[in-house]
Structures are given as C-alpha cells and as structure tokens.
Structure 1
C-alpha cells in the first residue's frame, strides 16, 4: 500500500512538471505611439539662443590690443547679416587703464560688417532664433580718434581687418565676443618712430599682423527678458572651493615686424574656513618691433602676492545665495616685484636698460567663476613704488583698472 501511494505521488509530480513545460508563450510587438518631442536645453536660458534680437547696445571690457573700454551698437539688417559701430580704447605700456594717467590711453572708432554664416540654417531647423549668438566672419575698419600725449602725433589713415569669431548673449544683460583677425597693420603705439612714414601706406606685406581680440560686458536690446534663468547652475552658488589655478587668456599679435604677447598665471587659496584668501601670481608681457634701421624689444615680468577679503561671503552662505567659491566682491592688500626693460639695436650700436621695482598695492574688486572652468576678475587698484630710483620706467604712483579673463583648473 505504501509503495502504491509513492508511485501515484511520483506520477502526479511528473504530470505537473510536464504541463508546465507545455505552456505556449507568444510574443507581439506594438508600434510606438509617442509623438516626436523636443527637449529644451537648460542653457537656452543662459545664452538666449531662442530669443529673437535685432539690435544690441554693448558696453564693457575690451581686449582689442590690450585692456580697455568699449561701447558698440550692432544692428541686424538681415537674419544672418549685421552692421556694428563702436568706440574703444587701446592698451598702454602698463597693461592697465590708468586713471591718474588717463593721457596714456588712445581712443579708436571701429566699424564692422558681420556674416553669421550658420544662422539661417539653424533658424530653418528651429534650433535657434535670429539674434547675435553664433560664429561669424567679419570685415572691420578702425580709425584713431585721439592719441595719448606720450604717443605719436602723426595722423593715421586707419587699418582694415578680416575676422573670424564667436559672439554670444549671456543671461538678460550680458555678452561675450572673441575673435581672431588679420589686419594690414598693428596699432600705431606699437610702431617705431622711424617706421611711421612707411606706416602711411595701406598695404605693406611686412606690416600685416594676426591678432586675437576679446570683449565682454553688459548688453541692452529689444529682446524679451527671461524671468527664469538657471543662474546658480552657471554661477554655482553653493560650490565649495578651497583653491584654484587661474590662467589668463593671452592677447597675442604675430607679424613679420611686430610680435606681442602677454599673460599671467595665479593660484588662490583659502585660509581655513574664513573669508580670507591668499593669491600668488606671475605675469609677463613682451613686444618686439623690427624695422629697416632699428629693432626694439620691450618687456615686463614680475610676481606678486595679495591677501583678499571676500567681505560678503559669510552673508551669502547664511542666505543660501553663495558659498566659499571665490566669487563676489573683495578688498585686497599686497606687494609685487617686477622688472621692466628694453633692448634696442640700431646702426650706431646696441642700447638696453632695465630696473627692478618693488611696490605696495591695494585693490577693490569683484571676481566671478562660471561653469567651473572660467573666471572674470576686475579690480580698481592703487600701486606705489617703494624703492627709490632717479629714473622711473613706470609711474611711481598709479590708480588703475585691471581686468583678467581666463580659465580655472
């Protein structure tokens, strides 16, 4: 009886397992019923690529030939073609905009025609609206309006340039414009006096220069203002940074007769958890000008250290609008040492000179980090030469405005 029961149980389990294996499984596929959707890039509200714009007034920093100011007005006459008129100042030999020595800045006017070569295609693809954000080719003409008292008093005929660049809106009130241009000559301030008569010619192959240009600042226009912009996603309000390296984007000019370049690199470090930071930097600038009878090299190199106090940092942390991220207004005191000099070679012989200077500095400025990899640092700075010298290659006292724009890492 027991064996018969075990046999029936075994047969029952076998039938159950066999029935499970005999289940038919069928597959079917249904077509997608979702409609095509467009996902909005969150940075459209940063660079305003979908905001139609026909005219724009721009006021800000100018890297055209060095640090300076620029004000310009750009107007769209076609969806991908615009005209611009501007006035700007060029750099001086102190790599700043002296306020107490304002006669060292030259004033220029500038007229541009720009073709935004990819604008029409992107508008047709509904990727953007007709505005001033995008790559462009340009034709430029520049004419000096005023020369500094220490510069040449020769009336200049102007210069032409072909440009390739990129311009973009930034939030409701900002813009950035960077380009590379081929010009038929350099700025008159960089020329040797013995070359000025030859400078009257419009097109001399040896005078052509390839130069970088940059400009950024505030913009006003006829666009609809965005109420909601991802400011903190760009400015990284709650980012915590204990230190950063900063590399300034150089201004470079390359030609057969004229070469010029300048840059700086700095490291900034926080002191504990306080709003005090220490910055150390090195900087250099050099200009070489070669003529038929004379060649001249001028240079300046130096280093400095500065103690910075970001005086609203704690209040930003309490309000949740900022953190220890090296962004905000600051007060600074520091010291710098630098060596300006020149080396000339003329028919009668070689002449050169240089001098070491030590200076105390005080500054009031504002620094801002963007996208973790970009920084802007502008300041009102006062410097005072400490060591005594009978011959100054730089002003002993100077109040100036300085702007640095570059990359962080």
Structure 2
C-alpha cells in the first residue's frame, strides 16, 4: 500500500513539474512602445527655451557673419567680415524691454583688378540703444505658457551711431608702378551718421547660457555731409536689414 501511495505522489509531482514547464513555454511577452506625448514635447521645448523662467535682465554676446560678396564668379575678389554685438536687455514690463550696447564690425576686402592684389581692412564700433515690444507675451502669460522672459516675437525700434572707425588698405599706383599703403582713423565728430531701424523679429533662449535672435526691417541713415561737401547738405539713405545672431546670454 505504501508503494502505491508513494508511486502516486511521485507521478503527481512529475506531472505538476511538466505542466509548469509547458505553461512557461506558452507564455508570450509584449514590449510596450515608448511614445513621446504632446505635453512632454511641450515641456521639453519650454525647458530648452526657458519659456517659464522669469528673467528681468539679459546680457548678450552674439556674432553674425558680414560677408556681402564672399567669392566672385572668377574667384579673384573676396569680402569676409564678422559682427560682434554686446547688448544688455532689461524688461521694464512683461511685454516691453529696453536695450543698450555696442556693435563691433570687422571687414576684409580683397580685389584683384588688372592682376594687382589690392586689399582693405576696416573696423567700426557703433553705439546702440533701442526698445522692443513682445506683442504675444501678455497673452501667453495669461494662458500660463510663459513668464516674464526674453523668448518671444517682437517689434523693435533701434537707434545707432558710429563712434570709432579704423581703415587700412593697399592700392597699386600704375603711374609709379608701386603699392601705396593708406591708413585712416576717423574722429568722433566726423562720424555723424545716425541710423534708425524698424525691426520685426523673434528671440529664443537656448538653455541657460544661449540665445538666438533673428530680425529684419528697413533702416534710415542720415549723412550730414558736413565734412564731405562744401554745402553741408544732409542726405538720407534707406536700406533693408537682415540680422541673425547666435551667442551667449545670461
């Protein structure tokens, strides 16, 4: 009798182990797909652009290329330049800010007319002051999408004036068959060329220490003619500006 009971329990034990192994083989596994939701994407964009971080003052150091004719078709003439802008922007209202700073411009031009390599190197420093209206900021704050910061679309008015100019160049004189070096440093009162810009643009913060600022619009420049014309007649010139800066901001 004991052998029968022992044999029966052994059979049941082996059967349970066999059934468990079969069940484990029939189990299927599914992997849940990781999907980025719209709210998570919006939070990531707000984090990168610091859209919900309240800021009152932003110090900016930005650069932009200033090459009007980088290379000509005959690959003989070149013009390379760079603008360095240092600005301080302060919010006086969630939608309004004031700016003050300087713009440093360096430009190198090389021409090869008649086989003679002539070149010009110039530097100029401009003082700037302006104001901006972030027209969508108040609505975004009411909707809880942004804070009092510097990420948004704007309409701006900016005044600038040269305060220092340096020029150095070399020309080939065909009469003497020699190169003539020129150098000129303009005095402050000679740089009577104020300009006003009407701008539309957008500015975005890039993390904690970055920003991008792109704007465009017309510029009106006044040339007094006091030191260039015996009649002292002022002239005005209208141009169209496009600026794209990227740099550090904190």
What TM-score do the two structures reach when normalised by structure 2?
Answer: 0.61
Q: Residues 355-377 of structure 1: CA distance to partner in whole angstroms, max 9, x if unpaired?
A: 62211121111111121211111
Equivalent residue number for residue 114 of structure 1: none
Q: Do structure 1's residue 237 and structure 2's residue 68 form an aligned pair? A: no
Distance in 1 of aligned mates of 2:140 and 2:243: 25
Give 1:6-405 correspondences, 5 Å limit.
227=38, 228-229=40-41, 230-249=44-63, 260-271=81-92, 273-288=93-108, 294-338=118-162, 342-346=167-171, 347-352=178-183, 356=191, 357-389=193-225, 396-405=237-246
| C-alpha deviation, 1:298, in angstroms | 2.5
Larger Rg: 2
| C-alpha deviation, 1:277, in angstroms | 0.4
Q: Relative to structure 1, is the Cα distance of residues 401 and 252 closer, same or farther in structure 2, using a 3 angstrom cutoff? A: closer
Q: Relative to structure 1, is the Cα distance of residues 337 and 270 closer, same or farther in structure 2, using a 3 angstrom cutoff? A: same
Distance in 1 of aligned mates of 2:137 and 2:105: 33
Q: Relative to structure 1, is the Cα distance of residues 341 and 319 closer, same or farther in structure 2, using a 3 angstrom cutoff? A: same
Equivalent residue number for residue 408 of structure 1: 249
Q: Relative to structure 1, is the Cα distance of residues 313 and 284 closer, same or farther in structure 2, using a 3 angstrom cutoff? A: same
| C-alpha deviation, 1:397, in angstroms | 1.2
| C-alpha deviation, 1:274, in angstroms | 4.2
Q: Residues 58-103 of structure 1: CA distance to partner in whole angstroms, max 9, x if unpaired?
A: xxxxxxxxxxxxxxxxxxxxxxxxxxxxxxxxxxxxxxxxxxxxxx
Indicate conservation of the 8 Å contact 1:251/1:263, yes or no: no
RMSD: 3.2
Distance in 1 of aligned mates of 2:241 and 2:105: 17
Task: Identify the structure with the greater helix proportion.
Answer: 2
SS in 1 for 2:139: helix
Q: Relative to structure 1, is the Cα distance of residues 250 and 314 closer, same or farther in structure 2, using a 3 angstrom cutoff? A: closer
What TM-score do the two structures reach when normalised by structure 1?
Answer: 0.39
Distance in 1 of aligned mates of 2:242 and 2:66: 21
Indicate conservation of the 8 Å contact 2:157/2:199, yes or no: yes
SS in 2 for 1:233: helix
Distance in 2 of aligned mates of 1:259 and 1:364: 26
| Unmatched segments (≥5 aa) in structure 2 | 1-35, 68-77, 172-177, 230-235
| C-alpha deviation, 1:337, in angstroms | 0.5
| Unmatched segments (≥5 aa) in structure 1 | 1-44, 46-225
Between Structure 1 and Structure 2, how many residues are aligned?
179
| C-alpha deviation, 1:340, in angstroms | 5.6
SS in 2 for 1:317: helix
Q: Relative to structure 1, is the Cα distance of residues 342 and 396 closer, same or farther in structure 2, using a 3 angstrom cutoff? A: farther
Q: Residues 317-348 of structure 1: CA distance to partner in whole angstroms, max 9, x if unpaired?
A: 11001111111111111210125663213335
Indicate conservation of the 8 Å contact 1:381/1:402, yes or no: no
| C-alpha deviation, 1:246, in angstroms | 0.7
Distance in 2 of aligned mates of 1:260 and 1:326: 28
